[in-house]
């Protein structure tokens, strides 16, 4: 009987046995996590070691260092170019302002030169007088500006030494055509008072009516009711 029981336990027909672990499941999970972490650390170490052996990490560091140097060089070059541009812009602004001032001065000098030439012409005509006239008109000039205005200028002289004071007036009249018809107009505002000893220069602007073509300008010096000098100029 004992032999049969022993044989049953030793053969395949022996009853099954269950082995239970005495370790609780939280500790089992903790142990598994430790094992996994250890395996991950070993894998990471192996990966980094492989990169170091292959030279990949060193090349990346060198490339990064080179890129940083290039960035610094580009920034320096950009700052240098920006400084040059700022300096050039300031120089151009100063040069432009100086050129504008120079242009204004040239225009002023040209205007003064024209005035001096006109004065010179007046005085040349004054000195060229024969001295036979008591009052004379010299240098009657007229110019139509933009078709709407007429600029006139006249010099009246007494070509004698120690001439007495002259008191009279200057009459100016314009003539031409308007719309193809004859046209004439006196100086607006009437004759201008004239008082001088040696010479007197008079000038002014006249607004012209529409469609007027000025062909002749006449100046006359009157003393009382007597006409002392007359001069005409054609345009």
What does the chain come to in residues? 235
**Residues 153 and 206 placed together within one structural domain of the fold:** yes
**Residues 136 and 123 placed together within one structural domain of the fold:** no
Domain enclosing residue 206, as ranges: 132-234
In a domain, 159, yes or no: yes
Contact in structure between 228 and 168 (CB atoms under 8 Å):
yes
| Kind and range of the H or E run holding 41 | helix 25-54
In a domain, 9, yes or no: no
Q: Report the alpha-carbon angle 158-113-127, nearest 5.
A: 25
Strands 199-207 and 212-223: unpaired
**Residues 199 and 185 placed together within one structural domain of the fold:** yes
Tell which residue, 186, 182, 235, has the closest CA to residue 212. 182
Say which range, 19-33, 93-107, 164-178, has the weakest mean pLDDT. Answer: 19-33
**Residues 106 and 155 placed together within one structural domain of the fold:** no
Q: Report the alpha-carbon angle 15-19-20, nearest 5.
A: 140
Q: What are the counts of helices (DSSP H) followed by strands (DSSP E) for the chain? A: 3, 8
Q: What is the share, in percent, of the chain residues with pLDDT greater than 70?
A: 69
> Comparing 56 with 158, which gets the higher pLDDT?
158
In a domain, 38, yes or no: no
Instruction: Kindly report, residue by residue over 62-92, the tens digit of the pLDDT.
Output: 777 787 888 888 888 888 888 887 777 777 7
In a domain, 21, yes or no: no
The mean per-residue pLDDT over the stretch 82-103 comes to: 80
Residue 41 C-beta-side C-alpha neighbours within 13 Å: 6
Question: What's the confidence (pLDDT) of residue 125?
Answer: 58
In the predicted model, is pLDDT for residue 113 greater than 60? yes
Question: What's the confidence (pLDDT) of residue 176?
Answer: 92
| Kind and range of the H or E run holding 51 | helix 25-54
**Residues 166 and 230 placed together within one structural domain of the fold:** yes
Contact in structure between 171 and 220 (CB atoms under 8 Å):
yes
> Could you tell me the CA-to-CA distances from 160 to 67, 191, 232 in Å, in that order?
96, 25, 23
Q: Indicate yes or no: pTM above 0.85.
A: no
In the predicted model, is pLDDT for residue 2 greater than 70? no
Q: What is the domain count for the chain? A: 2
Distance CA 52, CA 100 (A): 69
Report which listed range, 24-38, 117-131, 173-187, is most confident: 173-187
In a domain, 14, yes or no: no
pLDDT-derived band of residue 119, with 50, 70 and 90 as boundaries? low
Classify the C-alpha dihedral 23-28-30-31 as positive or negative: positive
**Residues 92 and 158 placed together within one structural domain of the fold:** no
**Average pLDDT along the chain:** 77
């Amino acid at each position: 009987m004992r032999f049969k029981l022993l044989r049953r336990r030793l053969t395949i027909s022996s009853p099954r046995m269950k082995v239970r672990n005495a370790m609780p499941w939280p500790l089992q999970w903790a142990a598994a996590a430790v094992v996994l972490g250890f395996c991950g650390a070993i894998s990471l170490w192996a990966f980094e070691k492989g990169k170091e052996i292959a030279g990949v990490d060193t090349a990346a560091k060198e490339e990064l260092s080179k890129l940083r140097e290039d960035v610094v060089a580009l920034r320096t070059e950009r700052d240098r170019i920006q400084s040059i541009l700022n300096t050039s812009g300031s120089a151009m602004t100063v040069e432009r302002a100086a050129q504008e001032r120079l242009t204004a001065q040239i225009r002023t000098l040209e205007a003064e030169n024209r005035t001096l030439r006109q004065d010179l012409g007046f005085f040349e005509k004054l000195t060229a007088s024969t001295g036979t006239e008591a009052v004379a008109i010299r240098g009657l000039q007229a110019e139509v500006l933009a078709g709407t205005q007429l600029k006139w200028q006249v010099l009246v002289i007494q070509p004698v030494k120690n001439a007495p004071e002259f008191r009279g007036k200057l009459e100016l009249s314009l003539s031409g055509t308007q719309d193809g018809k004859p046209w004439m107009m006196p100086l607006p505002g009437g004759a201008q008072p004239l008082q001088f000893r040696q010479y007197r220069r008079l000038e002014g602007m006249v607004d012209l009516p529409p469609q007027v073509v000025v062909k002749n300008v006449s100046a006359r010096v009157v003393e009382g009711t007597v006409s002392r000098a007359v001069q005409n100029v054609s345009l």
